[in-house]
Amino acid sequence: MKTFLEPLTPDEEKIYIEKMRLGDKKAKDILIERNLRLVAHVVKKYYDENRENQDLISIGIVGLIKAVNTYNPDKGNRLVTYAAKCIENELLMMLRAEKKRSKDVSLNEPIGTAIKNSGFMIPPKRITINFSPANIRKTGTYFDQPVAVSILPDMTLEEQIEISKI
């Protein structure tokens, strides 16, 4: 069973590219369909058993569509060469974004869990946590106010008045 259509010959590719430049949408669709094999080929390089292959193929197809839409034959490249670069760029952007998101850490979960596990009740209104370095005293004027204040919820008008009195 053949999954992909045969790729276009260089002469056929030139004909369809010219038709696409003249506004023929069907020619554009044919260029995309006949280069789907290229998407599968590039995606194989990035295959990972922990990731859905369908996601990679979808992203690769987006790269192929972008390649066909922006291809300029006057630059001397073949469509296949240009499309392979576009497909790979789309995949790499997705993988970089995925890697970046995997490094995001929420402080709420570990801190809240640590407080609950230690047996303390979480105050319903506010919690103050000092993130200042260990060698700085934690009392008086040495308290790391900018960090502590930035994690507090907004104060009500009454609380602001009370604090200003101090």
| Residue ranges making up the domain that contains 133 | 108-165
**Neighbour-count burial of 20, counting CB atoms closer than 10 A to its CB (0-12 exposed, 13-18 middle, 19+ buried):** buried
**CA-based nearest residue to 124, from 153, 145, 101:** 153
pTM of the model: 0.58
* Whether residues 15 and 95 fall in one domain: yes
- In the chain, the number of structural domains is 2
Amino acid identity, residue 120?
F
Beta strands in 18-109 (DSSP E): none
Using one digit for the tens of pLDDT, what is the confidence trace for 79-110? 999 999 999 999 999 888 877 776 655 555 56
Cα distance between residue 80 and residue 101, in whole Å:
32
Q: Kindly state whether residues 16 and 98 are assigned to the same domain.
A: yes
Identify whether residues 84 and 119 lie together within a single domain. no
Per-residue model confidence as pLDDT tens digits over 110-165: 656 666 666 666 555 555 555 555 665 555 554 444 444 444 567 788 887 887 77
Residue listed under structure tokens 């009370």: 162
